[in-house]
A and B are shown apart, each in its own frame.
Chain A
Amino acid sequence: MPSGGLHHLIDAHYEALYRYAYRLSGSAADAEDLTQETFGKALARLPQLREPDRARAWLFRILRNLYLHKVRDQKRHKVVPLDAVGDLADRDTDQEMPEIDPAKLQQALNELDEAFRTPIILFYFEEFSYRDIAEQMDLPIGTVMSRLARGKAYLRNRLAPEHGTDNDPDGTGPRHEKAAPGPKKVTDGVP
């Protein structure tokens, strides 16, 4: 591919990739590394990109694989166990949701296992359909929908106004070290 093509690919997708990486990793430094590594890998694999229309999904997939590879050996995650995520019987209050602090959202995302975090992030990058998300994650579409519903229920509880004043003095959110505040029990690691 001529350099113009690669430059076009960078221009078209680097911001979305960075935002995705940031929301996945919770760290600006990691997000920058992941974005750079993604384009590095993409350049080497350009011949595999058969449908240019699918470039974004392809790049997102490369990035997620790099991220999973990075965290595989790191037992630093403290995440909410799957069975604590999203009790669907919870009835949310019928109130207008005020603005959500992006740092607080990151804090809540960090508490979620990647299996829940990724579909949530992709869901809100609206160009990803359920089918896209299922393909990204190599999962049946029903599993994606179930995880989405539960992940959203968790976030809704976690980010509801009554939780809005909990501890995050510097406003940056924790990396992964801090246990999740709020009503859910938190345990180390998830299979």
Chain B
Amino acid sequence: MECRDAQFYLRLRRHTTDELGPDVAGTLEGHLAICPACAADGRAAVSFDRALTAAMRAVPVPSGLREKLFTQAASAQGAVLRHKLYRTGGLVTAAVLLIGIGFGVFSSTRPKADSELLTRTATDQANDPAGSVGRFLAAKKLPDRLPMPFDYDLLVHVGTDEVQGQQVPVVVFRSSNGDSGFAKVYIFKSDSRFDLRGLQDAQGSHARAQVLVGQDKFRGATYVFVHTGRDLKPFLLNRNGGGNPA
């Protein structure tokens, strides 16, 4: 092997896996053993590769990118699902799907956990449940309270649920009856990626879905109350009043 060839192969030699093949690798090693200049170049190539590998991979990935990709994927999948729902005319199916999701039938993401942030959110929620819901909804550009007089001492969770591939804001209350009952309030924006026309109440074996289209101060939002039991009374401040949203 001549020096020129040796230098060509030195630039291609990999230090983790040898892809040059035994013939070339053997001949190259033979040349390096007798040619100090190429051997020196070989050492320089290793050093260069190491430095370039480190620099090549040193690209900070924007922190919000993962979230954007998930939202985009959800939006695209939602479009497909909506199309399918239309074809079967199954808008009730949509509400039943909601209930299915409520019971954790569908699973999804594997987020990177930030325990400090989680603690802050939980503290905020414990100190001021109504306020934490209001701030969350306002941040989502939704009416900053719910259209029913929920008892915020029963608040369990405020966040988003994946519904048909879309992230949808949800507020969850436990029942005042002391049983395992719960109510989940899903809030759909009218300009959201969901087609809300004809969305209607639905009944599952363990849960009910009731739909309320926001008026006046609640204009622009459609609320789906998915709850256990006959009505929403166990979740409201005035438990003697009407337990249905409409």
Q: Which residues of A contact B (CB under 8 A)?
A: 3-4, 6-8, 10-11, 14-15, 18-19, 22-23, 28, 32, 35-36, 39-40, 43-44, 88-89, 91-102, 105, 121, 124-126, 129-130, 145, 148-149, 152-153, 155-156, 159
B173 CB to closest chain A CB (Å) equals 27
Q: What separation, in Å, do the CA atoms of A100 and B49 have in the docked complex? A: 10
Q: What separation, in Å, do the CA atoms of A59 and B206 have in the docked complex? A: 43
B70–A7 touching, CB < 8 Å: yes
B162–A3 touching, CB < 8 Å: yes
B59–A102 touching, CB < 8 Å: yes
Size range of the chain B interface in the assembly: 35 or more
**Total contacts A-B at CB 8 Å:** 125
Known A6-B77, A43-B77, A88-B7; judge A14-B69 contact (CB<8 A).
yes
- The one of A39, A93, A121, A126 in contact with B69, judged by C-beta atoms closer than 8 angstroms, is A39
A94 CB to closest chain B CB (Å) equals 4
Q: What separation, in Å, do the CA atoms of A165 and B162 have in the docked complex? A: 51
Q: Which residues of B contact A (CB under 8 A)?
A: 4, 7-8, 11-12, 14, 16-17, 19, 37, 40-41, 43-45, 47-59, 61-62, 65-66, 68-70, 72-74, 76-77, 106-110, 162, 165
Q: What separation, in Å, do the CA atoms of A91 and B43 have in the docked complex? A: 13
Residues of chain B with a CB closer than 8 A to A39's CB: 69, 72-73
Residues of chain B with a CB closer than 8 A to A129's CB: 17, 19
Residues of chain A with a CB closer than 8 A to B58's CB: 102
- The one of B51, B61, B68 in contact with A15, judged by C-beta atoms closer than 8 angstroms, is B61
B97 CB to closest chain A CB (Å) equals 13
A153–B11 touching, CB < 8 Å: yes
Q: What separation, in Å, do the CA atoms of A21 and B73 have in the docked complex? A: 19
Residues of chain B with a CB closer than 8 A to A89's CB: 4
- The one of B37, B61, B70 in contact with A18, judged by C-beta atoms closer than 8 angstroms, is B61
